[in-house]
Amino acid sequence: MPRKSGFSFSWKRALGISGAKTRLSRNIGIPLTRSGLERKVGRGMTTGCGVWVVLRVVVMGVVVVAVRVVGG
C-alpha cells in the first residue's frame, strides 16, 4: 500500500480535544491511553504496594471511561 502524502485532517485536533486530553492527563498524573495506563499499572505492581495500586487502577479506569464518553 503506498504511503499517503500531503494533508491530513483530524477533527479532534481542530476542536482542541487532543490538547485538552493531554493537559488533563499531565495535570492529574494518570495517562489516558491504554498503553500508558498499562505501563503505569505495571510500574506500580513492581513496587509492592498492592492496596494503593488497586485503588489507583480503579480511579484510572473511571477517569478513562469518563474521558472516552465525553471525548467521543
What's the pLDDT at 70? 75
* 72, pLDDT greater than 60: no
Q: How far apart are the first and last CA of the chain?
A: 29
DSSP character at residue 32: -
Domain-by-domain residue ranges, the chain?
32-72
What's the pLDDT at 47? 61
List, for residues 19-68, the tens digit of each pLDDT value. Answer: 998 898 888 888 888 888 888 877 766 666 666 667 777 887 888 787 77
